[in-house]
Structure 1
């Protein structure tokens, strides 16, 4: 982190990493307000970067800008770039360790490091002046251009299940390894009824994990896929509430399984809602 910060200085310049830093910071503010970290790969996709590894430079640039602003304001500003995490550990990469140690954090193992990072995330989520940070740096909040589409999605009356949707559900049910589980895991159950009267397309009910899958076929329209993202959020909330009441400490996870691909305009919403999306499943069907 320190080495990167030495290179990635300046925030308002014309270099590519500086331009990207100005694109990324409003996205990270959105994630902070949603109380949700974001994977390197998802952030890179949202800003049109093909190599997530090169995010280190714009993230270092953001850290430099926050340090300068904190000095001007004479107050500490949490380093929001800590919200960017990797797939392996579900945590910021080791490049962030230097920042943590300089601020007095110590740990002896990965479990302790994970606890420290989560505490730091909580500080980022609780920081009340992110909009002031954006304003001071001459930036705007992320676009809310999906408002009309979200309103349209909420008027959906239901059209019944088509053959493509039914076939994809069965395919997902019989292939748990394609939707975030392990090869050889037991098959799932379709049309699982929740206490809210919703039905989850496919559920995998295991001893240590409850995995819910919303399925959308390759011919699904963009507003139907948008609904699927929000359905995943609802399923997670209902399952978590039921588990808390029943003292069920199993891990609750879920995803949106698409026969096709996620429309590009829904990438920011996916990231904000923190929904895992599995794409291209129709191409893998026999």
Structure 2
């Protein structure tokens, strides 16, 4: 039967945590040089045999949704206190007729706990080489997995344990990536369990470089990478010192603009702007965590209770901040667990909830408050005109077609009645609804789609987008206004990371609306407010 494990694995529910735990355990057993002996006569199990003697110290028996893990007589005889230690750690049991200890394993995390328990007691091989998976383990990893991994890293994903490369870079679409991170993330996806830095080696002749190069990726020494990527003259080399000295102020301006737009920035976006606008040499997206953290440290040194603007730097994939934000949220919200390793992965819903609390505080800050905070942190003024300029930059490249950008009002520009109504609605939120009276208001608010909203009300518990139609609007104009409300509401909601803070839409008119328009508004949940033509 050899090393064929398929009959033993077949008992497990496919794609279940127990299935991943089985494959993960087998990878570690092979790394530690155990021989794998399948048993399929009465039960489905794998016995682990010491490589230098015909004795089997461990076995795992597969059930549908868990593994039965046995400490067998050879290991208990070699370590006389192991049974009692296991009973203390994993719970007491009555020994079977062979005197063996048994416990359940349901997940990869359970495997990690068991192996660490055994290593600490000298019952499992514990040299660095005993944690490196054999090359066969990585057979399921394909070029498609490598491509997805490289794209995630190039886009700014940094929530991984691999760190920066030391001697070699992988060149990918204008980015220099750590080869070990590309390989490790790809392997984790392909295998269905976490592959960590200690589980494989990188370097010429190693499985990591062999497989990546065989899939067509270029891996070069760092000196060669610098030459290959050189295409522009950099003002600053992306050292930690230069990032701290020259990246924090522009990053804060960009994040202020994102905050006032109710949006976020990805690691990749910050990286791209540092390179293209500030003049840094290639910045690994993983270094942006340093920039965000040092920026927040400097802000808190000036104003300890300042909003956590660093949390607006998010991963492209999940639109959430990485684990580095955990210590800041832990102090802010009095929950030390947020700073614990792996909290984001173990409690994704709680992580999002705390992030949304942090984002709500950031979004509630006014332009004037941000300007004052920036001046306090960096000792230089940040005028409202500069803030408006940074907000406009967020939308550079948007095509101003009809209904968007400066072309919103058509070739004739904005009419006097529309402008008067727009400015009045922005200045008088309490006249639209009493509940809106304390809103922070803005006019001609630019969305990430390039559209401009006539007026926006920012409140703690909601955001309100308002489209105005003046006294000269006809039925076609009003119908268009309804659909503009629908679009603006959807785009603004997509920009806001707070999932539980609703975006409402209001169509404001100076004239009565027809039954058809009223029905359309009801159908799509759009509010209507008719205001008098003669106003104070």
TM-score, normalised via structure 1 length: 0.47
Q: Which has the larger radius of gyration?
A: 2
